[in-house]
Amino acid sequence: MLEHLTGSPLAFATGCLVWLPVAIWVLSLVHWLILAEIDILTFFLGLSTAIGLGVMAMNPPDPIIAPLTFVFMVLTVVLYPVVRGAVQRRELRSLDYDSIGRAYELLAENPTNVAARVRLARALYATGRPGHALRIAEEAIARMPHSLFPDEHRMVAQWTLLVQSPDAFAPASCGHCGHPNEAGQVYCSRCGREVFLGPALPIGGMIAARRWIAAWFAALAALIGVPSAAKGLPPGAALGAIVGLILIAFFALIWAFRRESATA
């Protein structure tokens, strides 16, 4: 292996340096797993791919593979904060939509539950529908004595000052039938179902992370794995390896981007 790498100083240097981004990526995967932001299968997919890249960079079938692997891993590390931020935002948004779902469950049990309407209003405000949140909250606090619910009345007063744009009160399309509903409508005026629930719920943080890792693996298989197999293996073995990589990448993408029951 040493003779192979010393034949190209650039390949030798990048083959050694690639373990730095690999280590950062592995630590990031462990961090995601501990925080339950990815599942165990996603963790092992990312871990095995990162380590496999490091091993291949140390003994590449072509000297150009080691620099390409190093660049790819460095870009992965550079993009990690961006991806992590997006995953966290999706997770928070998913929690807000969970709160919307719970509020509707409470309203289904008791349509006069004003606390559930306030909960729905808070979640709508957090998910970018301040006008609708304000109208729903105004209706709710009209039946909530100020002396018993000062925080809720203070919240609505603050929203009233902040929500001034007419666009904030634009009709909201029903999540089930698409019918536009005026601000303050909790249930669709056409189909009678929940306006702010439906099949197009936001992707949760774990699902987003899983999709990112699967796409990363598929890109590696296409850009590095397939050329490496074609260059470094006998024709028969290369064909088998390429077909195997394509199938693994395909099924990884199918698994990661499958339609979740929660969003069905």
Determine the pLDDT at residue 262. Answer: 38
- Averaged pLDDT, 219-247: 78
When pLDDT is cut at 50, 70 and 90, the band that residue 10 belongs to is: low
| CA atoms of 253 and 237, how far apart (whole Å) | 24
Q: Report yes or no on 186 lying in a domain.
A: no
Both 74 and 143 in one domain: the answer is: no
| CA atoms of 131 and 159, how far apart (whole Å) | 9
Determine the pLDDT at residue 20. Answer: 82
Higher per-residue pLDDT: 36 or 152:
152
Both 53 and 128 in one domain: the answer is: no
Pick from 56, 74, 52, 76: which is nearest to 65 by CA?
Answer: 56
Both 71 and 136 in one domain: the answer is: no
Residue that terminates a domain, selected from 120, 150, 181:
181
**Is 2 a residue whose pLDDT tops 70?**
no
When pLDDT is cut at 50, 70 and 90, the band that residue 7 belongs to is: low
Residue that terminates a domain, selected from 181, 216, 234:
181
Q: Report yes or no on 187 lying in a domain.
A: no
Determine the pLDDT at residue 251. Answer: 80
**Tokens at 99, concatenated:** 């709160």
Q: Report yes or no on 190 lying in a domain.
A: no
When pLDDT is cut at 50, 70 and 90, the band that residue 54 belongs to is: confident
Pick from 46, 106, 10: which is nearest to 252 by CA?
Answer: 46
| CA atoms of 62 and 229, how far apart (whole Å) | 10
Residues in CB range of 239: below 8 A, 6 or more apart? none
Determine the pLDDT at residue 50. Answer: 79
Place of tokens 């029903």: 174
Both 100 and 61 in one domain: the answer is: no
Both 99 and 225 in one domain: the answer is: no
Q: Report yes or no on 191 lying in a domain.
A: no
CATH number, residue 139:
1.25.40
Q: Give Cα 14 distance to the centre of its chain.
A: 31
Higher per-residue pLDDT: 149 or 244:
149
> pLDDT of 58-70, one tens digit each?
777 667 777 777 7
Q: For residue 115, which amino acid is it? A: A
Higher per-residue pLDDT: 264 or 245:
245
Both 8 and 56 in one domain: the answer is: yes
Both 97 and 82 in one domain: the answer is: no
Residue that terminates a domain, selected from 118, 150, 181:
181
> pLDDT of 160-196, one tens digit each?
999 989 999 999 999 888 899 999 999 999 999 999 8
Higher per-residue pLDDT: 235 or 137:
137
Q: Report yes or no on 136 lying in a domain.
A: yes
> pLDDT of 93-142, one tens digit each?
666 778 888 899 999 999 889 999 999 999 899 888 999 999 999 999 99
Q: Structural domain of residue 122, as residue ranges?
A: 92-181
| The total number of residues written for the chain in this structure | 264
- What average pLDDT does the structure give for the chain? 79
Q: Report yes or no on 167 lying in a domain.
A: yes
Both 65 and 101 in one domain: the answer is: no
Q: Report yes or no on 194 lying in a domain.
A: no
- Counted domains in the chain: 2
Both 21 and 145 in one domain: the answer is: no
Both 171 and 96 in one domain: the answer is: yes
Determine the pLDDT at residue 264. Answer: 36
- Averaged pLDDT, 131-158: 93
Pick from 231, 264, 235, 229: which is nearest to 249 by CA?
Answer: 229
Determine the pLDDT at residue 209. Answer: 67
Both 217 and 235 in one domain: the answer is: yes
Determine the pLDDT at residue 201. Answer: 46
**Is 204 a residue whose pLDDT tops 60?**
no
